[in-house]
């Protein structure tokens, strides 16, 4: 009898049990949310198989500790490093067959990037989807909170936003009374593309204590001439580059041709990681801090962590 009892206990331990293998939902209260395209989605329990269709959204999910629920990301999702190990579903137009094979219970996309056709296909195959439009600093914070609500990570989301708001307010206070240097933000050089008032990056420059010389232009990413730049005479030039890139000699030689510019004369041509500012995710405050540190080295901001 004793040997039979031992065998039964051993088999019990080997048998999968739903209560042991299925993660307990953070909340069991049904959640209904309306996205930035007016589409409503309802969950009786938090989604457990999420596909992220933007690098900024992937970073948000990871920052909320939801990486174990992410089953698919885009080809461009490269932060944090663990995001690169997730299955890829394509780029601007996700591969529907790949999406279906991952059996998602939630697909999250950025409004404006994905055409209605892609969203219609999700509808056709009964794939729950949610679109967001983090088009300002405040909207980034709101997006983190709504994703926290949908996924049951309300408390981590609220804490993350609280931390980000606190850091942003610290930058504001430290740059409150400083003189704002005229700044040229270079998205690309050929042709010369900068940031207009239609882009949230214009707000980031303001929060960092800078004066965007192309901020009065209507287009979000205007093409500007060197004649315009010379007329505005930026005191600082910011080059948006990959994190592992350096300002090459060729780049320095290009700008040295415009010796009348204050930024060139004073050697104030700096690189900022494009992902910190160009991605409307939880690292935008890192980008603001880095930008403020370059513009106002005397205010005592610590380097980006």
- Specify the CATH number for the domain of residue 95: 3.40.50.1980
Residues of the chain with pLDDT below 50 are 1-27
- Same-domain check for residues 186 and 59: no
- Same-domain check for residues 143 and 38: yes
| Contact status, residue 65 vs residue 144, Cβ threshold 8 Å | no
Establish if 304 belongs to a structural domain.
no
- Same-domain check for residues 188 and 251: yes
Establish if 198 belongs to a structural domain.
yes
122, 137, 207, 298, 303 from 161: Cα distances, Å: 30, 11, 17, 27, 20
Establish if 291 belongs to a structural domain.
yes
Establish if 305 belongs to a structural domain.
no
Tell me the Cα Rg of the chain: 24
Residue 55: closest CA among 305, 288, 287, 281: 281
Give the CA-trace dihedral at 274, 282, 77, 63, to 10 degrees.
150
What predicted TM-score, i.e. pTM, was given to this entire model? 0.86
Overall domain count for the chain: 2
Q: What are phi and psi of 273, to 5 degrees?
A: -60, 120
pLDDT at 1: 43
Task: List all residues 6 or more positions away from 97 whose beta carbon is below 8 Å from its beta carbon.
Answer: none
Establish if 5 belongs to a structural domain.
no
Question: Where in the sequence is the domain holding 109, given as residue range(s)?
Answer: 17-160
pLDDT at 198: 80
**3-state SS, residue 107:** strand
- Same-domain check for residues 126 and 21: yes
- Same-domain check for residues 70 and 125: yes
pLDDT at 305: 53
Domain termination residue (choose one: 160, 193, 217)? 160
- Same-domain check for residues 205 and 121: no
Establish if 4 belongs to a structural domain.
no
Domain termination residue (choose one: 160, 191, 206)? 160
- Same-domain check for residues 151 and 22: yes
Establish if 282 belongs to a structural domain.
yes
- Same-domain check for residues 99 and 129: yes
Domain termination residue (choose one: 127, 160, 193)? 160
Give the CA-trace dihedral at 46, 49, 55, 56, to 10 degrees.
0
Establish if 29 belongs to a structural domain.
yes
- Same-domain check for residues 147 and 201: no
- Same-domain check for residues 235 and 120: no
Question: How large is the greatest C-alpha to C-alpha distance in the chain, in angstroms?
Answer: 95
Summarised one tens digit per residue, pLDDT across range 91-133 is: 878 999 999 999 999 999 998 766 667 888 899 999 999 999 9
> Any idea which residue has 């207009």 for tokens?
196
Helices (H), the chain: 2-14, 18-21, 55-63, 96-101, 116-124, 137-151, 154-174, 200-207, 226-232, 249-256, 262-265, 274-278, 284-295
- Same-domain check for residues 24 and 155: yes
């Amino acid at each position: 009898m004793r040997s039979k009892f031992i065998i039964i206990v051993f088999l019990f331990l080997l048998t999968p049990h739903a209560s042991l293998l299925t993660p307990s939902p953070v909340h069991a209260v049904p959640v209904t949310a309306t996205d930035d395209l007016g589409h409503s989605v309802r969950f009786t329990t938090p989604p457990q198989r999420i596909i992220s269709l933007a690098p900024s959204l992937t970073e948000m999910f990871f920052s909320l500790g939801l990486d174990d629920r992410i089953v698919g990301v885009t080809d461009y999702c490269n932060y944090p490093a663990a995001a690169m190990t997730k299955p890829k579903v394509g780029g601007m137009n996700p591969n529907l067959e790949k999406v279906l094979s991952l059996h998602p219970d939630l697909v999250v996309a950025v409004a404006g990037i994905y055409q209605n056709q892609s969203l219609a296909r999700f509808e056709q195959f009964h794939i729950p989807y949610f679109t967001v439009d983090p088009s300002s600093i405040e909207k980034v914070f709101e997006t983190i909170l709504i994703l926290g609500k949908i996924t049951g990570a309300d408390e981590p989301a609220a804490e993350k936003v609280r931390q980000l708001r606190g850091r942003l307010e610290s930058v504001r206070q430290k740059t409150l009374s400083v003189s704002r240097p005229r700044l040229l933000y270079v998205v690309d050089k050929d042709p010369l593309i900068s940031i207009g008032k239609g882009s949230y990056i214009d707000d980031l420059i303001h929060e960092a204590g800078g004066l965007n010389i192309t901020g009065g232009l209507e287009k979000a990413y205007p093409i500007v001439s060197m004649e315009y730049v010379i007329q505005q005479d930026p005191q600082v030039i910011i080059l948006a580059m990959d994190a592992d890139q350096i300002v090459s000699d060729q780049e320095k030689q290009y700008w040295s041709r415009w010796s009348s510019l204050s930024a060139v004369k004073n050697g104030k041509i700096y690189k900022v990681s494009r992902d910190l500012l160009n991605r409307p995710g939880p690292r935008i405050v890192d980008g603001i801090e880095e930008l403020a540190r370059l513009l106002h080295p005397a205010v005592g901001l610590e380097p980006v962590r």
